[in-house]
Amino acid sequence: MAKRKFSPLQVWLITNLGLGIVKFLGISWRYRRLNSLPSEKSIFAFWHRNILPLMYLHRNKNYVVIISKSQDGDLIANVCEKLGYLTARGSTSRSGSTALRNMINQSRKYSLAFTPDGPKGPACKIKEGMVYLAKLTGLPIVLISARVGHEIVFNSWDRFRLPLPFSRIEVIYDTPQYIAKDANIDDSIALIENRMMALENQLLDH
């Protein structure tokens, strides 16, 4: 069955409804950073399930995010751009090389934001695209994790999190990690996954 196409009016309505919901919820969320966000230009990486709380926290900073080239991606891109993000269109499964080149070009001026287990999973498993990006740009990877006090967790592949109104959200940042140009991809992925696990445990133990 062909996927339904939205009309321009429907796209406008869905975009603004989604933006309104994010802003309505976000204004009420109570953030607490457990440490400081590194000031250097970086590749900020976090699991796909944490998109909503972290996207609102880091709005209006001109970070570049990669979003799939699909109509669903169009809707997400519209919301992201209205929250002050720049977008590179593509994914690891469709037009990935074009999106990668776009992000490399934009990395000369801006930090990048990446969900290394997106857009379709498996959850909490890093794909090689982010490692290649770090090797090619020379930017460090800064891992980010979040703990949400009260939330709805969806029965999706990523266990997507929707923080409830007035929820407390704690955020922690890892130290910047550079990937050498001659580093082994599999070893780098294992290292980053282990660091993310340690960061999440640190957040839980805080």
What is the structure's pLDDT at 94? Answer: 43
Residue 118's nearest CA partner among 137, 139, 93, 99 is 93
Print the domain residue range for 57: 34-205
What is the structure's pLDDT at 92? Answer: 52
Question: How many domains does the chain contain in total?
Answer: 1
The number of angstroms, rounded, from the C-alpha of 45 to the middle of its chain's C-alpha atoms is 6
What is the structure's pLDDT at 74? Answer: 82
**Residue 12 in domain:** no
**Residue 19 in domain:** no
Rounded to 5°, angle at Cα 110 from 15 and 172: 80
What is the structure's pLDDT at 91? Answer: 62
**Residue 169 in domain:** yes
What is the structure's pLDDT at 62? Answer: 92
What is the structure's pLDDT at 1? Answer: 47
**Residue 20 in domain:** no
Mean pLDDT of each 10-residue bin along the chain, 206 residues long: 69 87 95 94 95 94 85 82 89 60 90 88 90 93 96 94 96 96 95 96 86
CA–CA gap between residue 120 and residue 110 (Å, rounded): 25
**Residue 145 in domain:** yes
**Residue 14 in domain:** no
E strand residue ranges, the chain? 30-33, 43-45, 64-67, 86-89, 112-114, 141-148, 151-153, 161-163, 168-173
**Residue 1 in domain:** no
What is the structure's pLDDT at 4? Answer: 64
What is the structure's pLDDT at 89? Answer: 82
